[in-house]
Amino acid sequence: MLSDLVGFAQSLPPAARALVIAAVVAVALVVVLPPANTRRAALVTWGAVAIVAMIAIASVPAIDLAILVVLAVAVLQAAAAGRRSFAARLRAPALAVGLLALGVVFARIQGPPILARFAAVALVAGIGAAVGTLPFIHEFDPDERTATSPIPWLAFLGPALVIAVVSRADELVPSAGAAFGAMLIGLGLLNVAWGSVGSWGTENGTAAWHYSFIADWGLALCGFGLAVADGQRAAVLILFGILLNRLPLYLWSRQALREKLLNDRPFNLLAAAMLAGAAPFAGFAARVLLLRGATEVYWPLALVIGLGLLLWLPPSLRLGRSLGLPRGRQALGVGIALALNVAIGVYPQPLLALAGL
Amino acid sequence: MAAVQRLRSGTDGWGLMPAGSTSRLILVIAAGVLALWISVSVTSGPAASIRFAALVVIGLMGARMLAARDPAALMTAVAAMALAIATAAGLTATAPGLAPYMVAALIAAGVSALRVSEKTHVV
């Protein structure tokens, strides 16, 4: 068989398949109802590239191939014309590739047990650097177009890569699984706090959205680190939220942010509630699952996560206001995003079943 | 406490370990000892040469990518990194097949052909 010779039998894990479907829906939503002053052709092109990259990262049979795909995607994205220099755009993803590769090499060395812990550290640091969370936040230029900014790493490539690494953690670092999970939780909590406070405190509205992605990622990392079913479910629901809600709302808010149009209408408050993870939105279901998972593992952790969740409200109100007064296609888009989010929040089971959870 | 103190006083920027400072010297010695220990760990047992080569190339090229600004230097580092990652695929118990080597070769060849424009675009 050719696939045996080449060592390439493609298969998309259920969680990654579900996220790819969410990415397709998100791109379709934004293409059908494009943000103001945006060309549909560019949205289709960049959206298709992102989805293909997600599929490639998630479907390859070995972690080495996933890292190589990430390297190729990083170079291609950095080579596209943008406001930041080529070196600035390549630096963080290249660091991620280096750390992940070091982690994989350490994991394969038969030696002292501490090497497995080094591997776990490198893998977690590599995940953080690829996604762009603290302490490896990607350099962000608020005026840069989204496709060449760090946002695709937070929304499209990050989820696929994290699932590729976390699903292989047992096989890569079997003796350091607990350390791997604990580091993910620690990194997650740090990003929940930093992302929420940053999103609230930063002067620039676009940067506030960037920080809000990081805060969401903090929760997702906590969920993956818990290593119990509820934690995994919470993490996947949060990634759904990033793709189906936060990303489209970010794109639709950019024109209002440029024109500095803020609004406090009920529509904006509803969007804020969705971003804050209030009931009955999907974020609420994710947070309940996360707290349940944390209680299962170590109840004081649930207390810390619960305190972190309180930080979500002020930045979410700010982000909701930054949508301005959506009209026409954008109002319809925000409405669809809200409806989708409520549907997932009220009945998340079909999506979780699709993700194999 | 150290971070708060550093934030409140001293020169602008982080500048935690200026060249010639004691803390930098200690870090250099500690890093050297750690590197030596890792080297000793990876240079024993089967396939030691592959492990050592993969670690060294990934580490050095990673550092190069962080420090370099010139696209040509970055592309060279990317090509070497890709080949080192493919080499590391050979450390698994089961043969990885041709896929990692082919993908790495494609990346190495591709980045050599890629032209990078440093012109900035505002969209």
What pLDDT, in 10s, does the model give residues B54-110? 999 999 999 888 888 888 899 999 999 999 999 999 888 787 788 899 999 999 999
* Partners of residue B58 in chain A, C-beta under 8 Å: 98, 101-102, 105
Asked if residue B95 belongs to a domain, the reply is: yes
Structural domain range at position A319: 12-354
* Partners of residue B68 in chain A, C-beta under 8 Å: 87
Asked if residue A6 belongs to a domain, the reply is: no
Whole-structure pTM value: 0.89
B residues 3-32 lying closer than 8 A (beta carbon) to A: none
Asked if residue A4 belongs to a domain, the reply is: no
Asked if residue A5 belongs to a domain, the reply is: no
pLDDT band at A6 (very low <50, low <70, confident <90, very high): low
Model confidence pLDDT, tens digit, residues A26-67: 999 999 988 877 888 989 999 999 999 999 999 998 899 999
Asked if residue A46 belongs to a domain, the reply is: yes
* Partners of residue A78 in chain B, C-beta under 8 Å: 116
| pLDDT at A4 (0 to 100) | 58
Q: Burial of A173 by CB count in 10 Å (0-12 exposed, 13-18 middle, 19+ buried)?
A: buried
DSSP class of A146: G
Q: Would you call A86 and B116 a contact, using CB atoms and an 8 Å cutoff? A: yes
Average of per-residue pLDDT values in chain A: 89
Domain count, chain A: 1
* Separation of alpha carbons B86 and B64, rounded Å: 19
Q: Would you call B118 and A94 a contact, using CB atoms and an 8 Å cutoff? A: no
Mean pLDDT of A272-277: 90
Asked if residue B32 belongs to a domain, the reply is: no
Nearest chain A Cα distance for residue B33, angstroms:
15
Given a contact cutoff of 8 angstroms between Cβ atoms, the answer to whether A221 and A188 are in contact is yes
Q: Which residue of B has its CA nearest to A171?
A: B92
Residue A250 gets the label, from left (phi > 0), alpha (psi -120 to 50) or beta, of: alpha
| pLDDT at B123 (0 to 100) | 38
Asked if residue B103 belongs to a domain, the reply is: yes
Q: Is A125 on the interface with B (CB under 8 A)?
A: no
Of B59, B98, B102, the CB nearest to A102: B59
The pair of three-digit structure tokens given for residue A297, joined into one six-digit string:
């593992």
DSSP class of A147: G
Optimal mutation site among B14, B103, B107, B115, interface A, most CBs of chain A within 10 A: B103
Domain count, chain B: 1
Nearest to A288 by CA among A335, A357, A219, A240: A219
- Where b means 16+ CB within 10 Å and e means fewer, B37-64 reads ebeebbeeeeeeebbeebbebbbebbeb
Of chain B, the percentage scoring pLDDT greater than 90 comes to 29
Of A72, A102, A108, the CB nearest to B107: A72
B residues 62-121 lying closer than 8 A (beta carbon) to A: 62, 65-66, 68-71, 74-75, 77-78, 81-82, 84-86, 88-89, 91-92, 95-100, 102-104, 106-107, 110-111, 114, 116-121
Q: Alpha carbon B37 to chain centroid distance?
A: 18
pLDDT band at A121 (very low <50, low <70, confident <90, very high): very high
| pLDDT at B119 (0 to 100) | 54
Asked if residue B26 belongs to a domain, the reply is: no
* Partners of residue A62 in chain B, C-beta under 8 Å: 89, 92, 96, 99-100
A residues 251-310 lying closer than 8 A (beta carbon) to B: none
Residue A23 CB contacts under 8 Å (≥ 6 apart), including other chains: A50, A51, A54, A155, A156, A243
Q: Is A64 on the interface with B (CB under 8 A)?
A: yes
Q: Is A81 on the interface with B (CB under 8 A)?
A: yes
* Partners of residue B119 in chain A, C-beta under 8 Å: 81
Q: Is A37 on the interface with B (CB under 8 A)?
A: no
Which range has the worst mean pLDDT, A72-86, A160-174, B3-17? B3-17
| pLDDT at A264 (0 to 100) | 80
Mean pLDDT of A318-345: 88
Top-confidence residue, B44 or A7:
B44
Mean pLDDT of A322-347: 88
Asked if residue B87 belongs to a domain, the reply is: yes
Chains A–B, number of C-beta pairs less than 8 Å apart: 143
Examine the pLDDT at B37 and tell me if it is beyond 50: yes
Return the ∠ at Cα A59 (arms to A47 and A132), rounded to 5°. Answer: 55
Asked if residue B67 belongs to a domain, the reply is: yes
Optimal mutation site among B14, B36, B43, B58, interface A, most CBs of chain A within 10 A: B58
Of chain A, the percentage scoring pLDDT greater than 90 comes to 55
* Partners of residue A67 in chain B, C-beta under 8 Å: 85
pLDDT band at B47 (very low <50, low <70, confident <90, very high): confident
* Separation of alpha carbons A142 and A355, rounded Å: 33
Structural domain range at position B71: 46-113
Examine the pLDDT at A198 and tell me if it is beyond 80: yes
Q: Is A71 on the interface with B (CB under 8 A)?
A: yes
Q: Is B57 on the interface with A (CB under 8 A)?
A: no
- Where b means 16+ CB within 10 Å and e means fewer, A209-230 reads bbbbbbbbbbbbbbbbbbbbeb
